[in-house]
Structure 1
Amino acid sequence: MGIDPLSDAKILDAWQRNAAPWTAAVRGQQIESRRLVTDRAIIEATLSRSPRSVLDLGCGEGWFARALTVRGIEVIGIDAIPALIEQARQSGGDFRVMSYEDIASGKLNASVDAVVCNFALLGNESVAGLFGAVRSLLNPHGSLLVQTLHPLVACGDKPYLDGWREGSWAGFNADFRDPAPWYFRTLESWTRLFAEHGFQLLELREPLHPQTRQPASVIFIAQAMD
């Protein structure tokens, strides 16, 4: 029996297959929106919380962790894809192979000032489970930051309703194949997810693409409530 094409398991399967081209694309700055807008946006949002320590969930090949480390911040990078963690470790640092399900079950022993998920929350059940565990990883008054596709832009012509969507590598080179599906959430659903798990939403940022003047992403900045 194969993997459900619209599922959390399929997301991991697809990223296993595309770890190498993804690493090349990120390190070669081939992704325009990241190069022009979103990389800088998540760095600035994180620095606005003045953390001394950060947990980078879904760290990929480690670019964000490296960007924070050179600014004097202690970073732990977590990803479920061993090939990506292997790439991240080549430059040193604390990078660990661990799934969101592992974290939800309490297998990660860490205490940090901020948890950051940068375009790393693509699933459904795995994301809800992860949110349930994040507070236990944060120091008092710790922050949770999430950058993701802007729902109003990413929705396209489909109904503005939560649900699974097929993935696409449109705009990427031919080395990419078998795109990962993703679970679409409305802005209302995203904000509810924070509230249901004990977070107060402090700020919502909508970084604009300098050419299209459309939101390139949305960034949620939240703080754990006492």
Structure 2
Amino acid sequence: MPASASEDQILDAWHANAHAWERAVREGRIESRRLVTDRAILETVRSHEPRTVIDVGCGEGWLARALAAEGVRVLGVDAVPALVEAARSRGGGEFRVLSYDDLAAGLLDERADVVVCNFSLLGGSSVDALLAAVPRLLARGGVLMVQTLHPLMAEAGPYADGWREGSWAGCGEGFGRPAPWYFRTLAGWVAAFDRAGLCLRDLKEPTHPHTGRPASVIFLAGVRQGDGDEQASRRSVSRHRT
């Protein structure tokens, strides 16, 4: 399957399954989220005591609401209008419909102490383009936090970067065709951050309390030294030319 077709199928699947996903999250159907991953990403964000957060791929807005309840100013963005509308209906943050292409194109003129992507980075080239835009979304000293499926738990197929079939297993009823996703090894993730001008600062591996196996991996990355100042300089020159 061509990579472009896989990228398109991701969005198609999420548009089609938005309401089923909203129910699964609000009803707490996904065991790993209840037991491990929701708390893990909340605690990781809290540990940095941010004043501002951009939640990329915010879905129905649960993380934004949890952080806003603690006094954090949160902007949630998602490419699926139905999910953004669901988030707005519950309040607790500002929510906008923006695709990863929009972010890559610089259409979001905001900076935050933390940019968080919680199980929202599924693509190949689309994610690479998004990561390249992250340095201009981070305030000075800001941190990108990415929680995703731990590569050790994706046992089907070779341990190599590449497209995989998706699944809604464990999410409950009401779902249609799943989205494909681009599997990355640990080295693959580190390389993707490096290409984007980011460097890995820390890595966390939350474990499932019943299996003792990693339920996810959380990457913490910052702007590589010198890159942030260089990008700011280029933006300043561009503004003066226009």
| TM-score scaled by length of structure 1 | 0.95
Matched, 1:213 2:215: no
**Cα pair distance change 1:4/1:192, threshold 3 Å:** closer
CA distance in 2, matches of 1:31, 1:223: 30
Task: State how 1:94-105 maps to structure 2 within 5 Å.
Answer: 94-105=94-105
- Asked if residue 67 in structure 1 is aligned to residue 66 in structure 2, the reply is yes
TM-score, length of structure 2 as denominator length: 0.89
Please list the CA deviations of residues 60-87 of structure 1 after superposition, one character each: whole Å capped at 9, or x if unmatched.
0000000100111100000000000000
Q: Which residue of the partner structure matches residue 34 of structure 1?
A: 33
Higher helix share: 2
Aligned residue-pair number: 223
Partner Cα distance (1:6, 1:40) in 2: 34
Q: Which runs of 5+ in 2 are unaligned?
A: 226-242
Q: Residues 145-224 of structure 1 correspond to what in structure 2 (within 5 A)?
A: 145-154=145-154, 156-224=155-223
1:18 counterpart SS class? helix
Bigger radius of gyration, 1 or 2? 2
SS of the equivalent of 2:182 reads strand
Instruction: Give, in angstroms, the shift of residue 171 of structure 1.
Output: 2.3
How far off is 1:6 after superposition?
Answer: 5.5
The answer for the alignment partner of 2:106 in structure 1 is 106
| 1:128 equivalent in structure 2 | 128
Amino acid at match of 2:216: S
Please say which of residues 197-206 and 75-84 is displaced more in the overlay: 197-206
Tell me the equivalent position of 1:51: 50
Shift in CA distance, 117/63, structure 1 to aligned 2, threshold 3 Å: same
C-alpha deviations, 1:1-36, integer Å up to 9, x for none? xx9795111000000111111101101111000000
Q: Is the 8 A contact 1:164 1:182 kept in 2?
A: yes
Instruction: Give the aligned CA root-mean-square deviation in angstroms.
Output: 1.4
**Distance across 2 between alignment mates of 1:77 and 1:85:** 8
Q: Which amino acid aligns with 1:190?
A: W
Paired residue secondary structure (1:221) = strand
Taking the aligned partners of 1:58 and 1:153, their CA distance within structure 2 comes to: 22
The one-letter code matched in structure 2 to 1:194 is F
Q: Does structure 2 conserve the Cα–Cα contact (< 8 Å) formed by 1:207 and 1:218?
A: yes
Question: Which residue does 2:230 correspond to in 1?
Answer: none
Q: Give the match for residue 20 of structure 2.
A: 21
What's the CA shift for 1:174?
A: 2.9
SS in 2 for 1:116: strand
Deviates more, 1:162-171 or 1:4-13: 4-13
**2:52 counterpart letter in structure 1:** S
- Given residue 40 of structure 1, which amino acid in structure 2 is its aligned partner? R
Contact 2:9 2:180 in 1 (8 A): yes
Contact 1:4–1:10, Cα closer than 8 Å, also in 2: no
For 1:172 and 1:145, locate their aligned partners in 2 and report how far apart those are by CA, in whole Å: 24
The 1-side partners of 2:224 and 2:122 are apart by: 25
Deviation readout 1:77-115 (Å, 9 max, x if unpaired): 000000000000012221000100000001111011110
**1:172, 1:113 → 2: CA distance?**
32
- In 1, are the aligned partners of 2:131 and 2:196 still within 8 Å (CA)? yes
Sequence identity (%)? 57
Q: Is residue 140 of structure 2 the alignment partner of residue 140 of structure 1?
A: yes
Moved >4 Å (runs of 4+)? 3-6
For 2:162 and 2:196, the matched residues in 1 are separated by 20
Unmatched segments (≥5 aa) in structure 1: none
